[in-house]
Chain A
Amino acid sequence: MSIINYANKEIQFKVVYYGPALCGKTTNLAYIHSQVDETNKGELVSLATAADRTLFFDFLPLNAVVIKGFKTKFQLYTVPGQVIYNATRQLVLRSVDGIVFVADSQWDKMEENLESFQNLQDNLARQGMSLDSIPYLLQYNKRDMPNVAPVHYLEYLINNRGRRVNSFVAVATTGQGVFSTLNAISRLLLQRFAREAEDSVSKNSRSGAATAATTALTGVATSPAPAALRR
């Protein structure tokens, strides 16, 4: 669950990369870790087997842009994709704010993609959540493989819920599409956060409590420093 920390001037979000086994979830994080500036990332932790199969989760903390003086931080997790690790997938999904579903574009992986997508919905439901309320994106990975399904077929197969979401093609081993996906899910979360903040202000205004409540929250007399959007 995201949290706003007025004391440290931080907002934190949790993003989980989900998908079937060997679809490229860990590869996404490894690529991101290799590319992000040293001062804006933490250690990439991988709890994996000797065969480099994710056993529990991979974890990568990232710092993103500063907005209105608040540092935005993202904690990226992956889940183990193998079917036997469903119990641990449920644990990693706890308090998730956003999801990237990574699908393997190869024709012979379609059934696994669908099973994993259904598994995601089932595991969210166990925690009282659903894809209707959680921001998520689709990534169609391994587009460089020889026997891949066309994107429109993947869209038909997976992106066919009442609310269609953004999808991205990717080759995670080379980095293609990795940052597009990451930026998109991060923006989605920040935009949703901004929207909820605006709704909250509107409600407070109607109840006449806005100004006093905001001042009490910040505990400072002056407004925060101007935003510094680092590129």
Chain B
Amino acid sequence: MQTMPILTIQTAEKLLSALEDFLEKSEAHFALILDRGGIILSQHGTLPDTADTNVVSALSAGCFAATRELALRVGETECSALYQQGSSSHIFICSIDTEHILVTVFGKQTTVGLVKFYSARTTKRIAAVLQEIRNGPGIGGLFSKEDLNGAEELFVR
């Protein structure tokens, strides 16, 4: 298992604040910060009721990774953003740092140019918070091996 990042209440609030500002300025519906493995760090806004944010994050991470690899195969080393244009909802995915991406869902009330513009600022802000998380103290005292005793089945059926 790789070193485990810890999202404290303070850093979680900073990430959320960055997303709140971003959505307000860009007029997008929904924004999500995830790592490139598909794990969600923070989210803000609304998606249709049918959308599962876990699924959105997994698909976004896969999509971004696949496109980046495709770019590398055709000789392009830079692949920092991806744009999916729909008829009413659009998705913009961009790189925050080497390990994290920002996913934005927006509609007709805004434009991809505005989303891109504010994404650029927001990703810098988020990157600073993520650096803070990386520099933070290690995990400690959450639970011990004894707390797992007695639980034969970990999943409710």
Contacts and interface: CB of A to CB of B under 8 A. Distances in A.
B156 A230 contact: yes
A3 B147 contact: no
A91 B2 CA distance: 16
B156 to A, nearest CB: 4
Contact of B7 (A4, A95, A227, A230): A4
A8 B5 CA distance: 14
A97 B154 CA distance: 17
A218 B139 CA distance: 11
Interface in B96-150: 99, 136-145, 147-148, 150
Interface in A42-100: 42-43, 45, 47, 56-57, 59, 61-65, 67-68, 70, 72, 75, 77, 87-88, 91-92, 94-98
Given A1-B2, A45-B59, A87-B69, A187 B39 contact: no
Main secondary structure of the interface of A (DSSP, over half): mixed
Q: What interface size band does chain B fall in?
A: 35 or more
Given A37-B157, A75-B39, A61 B54 contact: yes
Contacts, number: 203
Contacts of B45: none
B6 to A, nearest CB: 5
A36 interface: yes
Which residue, of A7, A42, A193, A230, has the highest number of chain B Cβ atoms within 10 A? A7
B49 to A, nearest CB: 13
Nearest to A219: B9
A197 B147 contact: no
Contacts of B52: 42-43, 61
Contact of A229 (B12, B39, B151): B151
B10 interface: yes
B149 to A, nearest CB: 9
Interface stretch (A111-119, A142-150, A200-208): A200-208
A135 B1 contact: yes
B1 to A, nearest CB: 5
A106 B148 CA distance: 36
Contact of A42 (B55, B69, B138, B141): B55
Contacts of A61: 52, 54-55, 58
- Among B40, B65, B69, B148, find the residue whose CB has the most chain A CB atoms closer than 10 A: B148
Interface of B: 1-10, 12-13, 35-41, 52, 54-55, 58-59, 61-62, 65-66, 69, 99, 136-145, 147-148, 150-157
6 contacts: A7-B12, A59-B54, A61-B54, A97-B2, A200-B138, A204-B140
